[in-house]
Amino acid sequence: MRSLVGTPAYQRSHRARYKIEALFAELKQRMCLERVRLRRLWNVAEQFQLAATAQNIKRLVRFLIQKPPTPQLKVCQEERNEGTKMQKNLPVAS
């Protein structure tokens, strides 16, 4: 196991596990999924699926609220380039 720690494949799997564990931690802490309310496997599966769906909806809302990046820098650069083109085309006073 220790020989695998430095490999790129281990680093990728470690990052993936970290993300998944963070999602499960959120389910346990914020969505109150530490204990299941009903017994039987299909009840537990249903409760987990509902909690996971609620978590995904929360993430989707957070994603949709984000403002799209503004293309102002690109516009300013284009205007600046057009301004230099205009300066080059000015008649030279003699």
Render pLDDT for 37-71 as a digit per residue (tens, 0 to 9). 888 999 989 988 998 999 999 999 999 998 877 66
Distances (CA, A) of 60 to 8, 36, 49: 31, 25, 16
CA atoms 82, 83, 88, 94: torsion sign: positive
Find how far residue 68's CA is from the centre of its chain: 14
Residue whose structure tokens are 């537990």: 44
pLDDT range class, residue 18, cuts 50, 70, 90 = very high
Distances (CA, A) of 3 to 6, 8, 14, 60, 90: 7, 12, 14, 39, 68
